[in-house]
Chain A
Amino acid sequence: MLSIVENRLNRFANSSVVKRHINKCINKQDFLTKTLLVTSISKDVFAYALRVHNTMKNDEIPKDKRSFVATMDAVTGITTAVVQFGTGLLIGNEKIQGAICKRLFSELKNEPKKFEQASKGFKTISTLIGATLFAKRILVPLIASPIAGYIENKHNQKSNSK
């Protein structure tokens, strides 16, 4: 069993896709930031997809409401992904980062190497904080609530017309 896992891991670690991906993560901070953003979002998306799947199979929810609740979950999941990714891209934008770092690390202007390192670190941390804290915990609930309300109204209108 262990040797199968070792073998699989070995193949995974030595596949050209993984090697290329890891090299890019080492050499390009921007790529690493986006990778971490995507891994963070994909965990949420996967959890929402699981929720949709479980809702569709949940016998405790009446059949006519099942697809509606699943739609709500799916919409919230998509909103989470889009808002987090959008916020991450916006905060990680070269121009915005350049302007912030220029002001924030103005004391390091005589040490270009240190300035570059600080800018790289700041870019990744600020992007992740923006997406994981601000977007996911504040923006998503604000955006998802009206969408849920809109879907609920549509659902009610359909039910009434029937």
Chain B
Amino acid sequence: MKINSLNNDISYQGRSKIVKNIKHAAGECFAKIDNIGEGTNIALDFLGKAILVPAVILSVSKEDKETKEYSAIKNPIAATLQLMMEAPILMFGSKFVGKLANEGKLDPVAADIGKLKKNGKINPDANQILYNEKKAKNTFLYLAERAAKHDEEFEKSTRGLIKKLEEGTLNKELKREFTNAIEKIANDIDKRNVSAALNGYDITQKRLYHLQNRVSFLMAIILTPLLCKAEDFLFPKITNLIIKQPKQQTQKSNMITLQGFKNLIKKGGLNA
């Protein structure tokens, strides 16, 4: 009895430790999440259509096996097709906006020209870095390297970080490490300048990211009619290549019937 109780205690402790570890890992994981945007939306929509809808159809639908399988398989095909159209819009849209921003073409200096022509007033935001991530990064790197020349400890602690940043971009982890290193700079002026430059770079990067997301979203909306047409054209062709349509469905006409409409809704939504 005693042994049993001891075993129970051990297994309870073991389980509670596992739960604690899982909770800790989940917390760490969610704390690291960065850049949630249109990409997340597209990915979730794809997962819903490619995995959830077939799973629901296969487990809930009361239709015959052949029709059920056909409905379940065609959803991942439609989801892949949709992903292949939406992902490039996001990728190329973001790249295009990023390129313009890094050339300084989206910052208020350029915007100021139009305003000056109109009312002769100087834009109060002129010369501000709003979206030029490259410039903000270079400014920070320049100030950090200059501070490193005056401060040996800062130079030692940021040598690896600066190299990492030069090769990539700022992320939550890198920002935290830089912030810790900046805290230890002895010279107050250097400390203030580098800290301000780091925050400026971080904000500029975020601004650009959200701008890229909004522009890509607008592009997706504008291109929706074209995407729908392309999907309507490609979907039956690809589906017929991959799977055989059940007899019941091949006999149906192309006309939209009320029952067909209801069935479509039951199969996981219409457009989507």
Contacts and interface: CB of A to CB of B under 8 A. Distances in A.
A binds B: yes
Interface of A: 6-7, 9-14, 18-19, 21-23, 25-26, 32, 36, 39-40, 42-44, 46-48, 50-51, 55, 60-61, 65, 68-69, 72-73, 76, 80, 104-108, 114-115, 117-119, 121-122, 124-125, 128-129, 132-133, 136-138, 140-141, 144-145, 148-149, 152, 155
B30 A105 contact: yes
Nearest to A26: B206
B123 to A, nearest CB: 8
B20 A148 contact: no
A14 B41 contact: no
B36 A138 contact: no
B111 A39 contact: no
Interface stretch (B135-143, B185-193, B237-245, B251-259): B251-259
A33 to B, nearest CB: 8
Contacts of A106: 23
Contacts of A115: 27, 31
Question: What DSSP secondary structure best describes chain A's contact surface?
Answer: helix
A141 B225 CA distance: 24
Chain B interface mostly helix, strand, loop or mixed?
A: helix
Contacts of A118: 26-31
15 contacts: A13-B106, A14-B111, A21-B210, A21-B214, A44-B271, A44-B272, A47-B224, A47-B228, A104-B26, A106-B23, A117-B172, A118-B29, A136-B272, A137-B48, A141-B266
A122 B30 contact: yes
Chain A CB within 10 A, most for which of B24, B52, B210, B270: B270
Nearest to A29: B36
Contacts, number: 176
A137 B41 contact: no
B49 A149 contact: no
Contacts of B106: 9-10, 13-14
B262 interface: yes
Contacts of B97: 9
Given A129-B44, A137-B48, A26 B30 contact: no
